[in-house]
Homo-oligomer: A and B are copies of this chain.
Amino acid sequence: MKLHVITTGGTIDKVYFDATSEFEVGEPQVLEVFREARVGFEFVVESVLRKDSLEMTEADRQLIRERVLASSCERILITHGTDTMVQTALALSGVPEKTIVLTGSMQPARFKGTDAVFNIGTAVGAVQSLPPGVYLAMNGRVFDPAKSRKSLERNCFEEIT
């Protein structure tokens, strides 16, 4: 398996710059997660955006779709902010012959007790096991984006029933 990882920003990549005492989207954390887990597959990481997903525009989503369509890999993992992850997943529907899994985290990857490492693991397990299509991997579950949402009250992803 060769995996194409596209990073777009979001909570998962938030870091803290003390000089200005502000949190901002930093370097893609997925590289550090892969290194620590000593993953045994080939991958490329492409940083396409560094945005809070609430600030993501329709043009940003088209850019992500273009990068996906241009990829030579059949298996694509996208790290993304959680607030509009479903929208970006829906904007990728119809991409042929590729298994695409979006993931992110509720707590920055740099935090103790973050969900980022587990979520990236889940996405990696799913992306190599599923047929072509677009999926979300959050809270240990693999979702169909058309039937899922982020619940603000419960602060997790859930199926729309």
Chain A residues packing against B (C-beta within 8 Å): 1, 11, 14, 16, 18-19, 21, 23, 33-34, 36-41, 52, 54, 81-83, 106-108, 110-115, 117-130, 137-142, 152, 155-158
Nearest B residue to A23, CB-CB: B23
Least CB distance from A71 to B in Å reads 19
Q: Is the CB of A124 within 8 A of B124?
A: no
Copies of this chain, whole number: 4
**Residue in contact with A23 in the complex, picked from B16, B39, B156, CB distance below 8 Å:** B16
Nearest B residue to A123, CB-CB: B125
Give CA–CA (A52, B107) in the complex, Å.
21
Q: Is the CB of B141 within 8 A of A41?
A: yes
**Residue in contact with A16 in the complex, picked from B111, B118, B124, B140, CB distance below 8 Å:** B111
Top-6 shortest CB links A-B: A121-B121, A125-B125, A39-B140, A40-B139, A129-B129, A37-B118
A-B contact pairs, 28 of them (CB 8 A): A16-B23, A16-B108, A18-B82, A18-B106, A18-B107, A19-B152, A19-B155, A21-B52, A37-B119, A38-B106, A38-B115, A39-B139, A39-B140, A40-B138, A41-B139, A41-B140, A41-B141, A111-B112, A112-B112, A118-B118, A121-B124, A121-B125, A125-B125, A125-B137, A125-B142, A126-B126, A126-B128, A128-B142
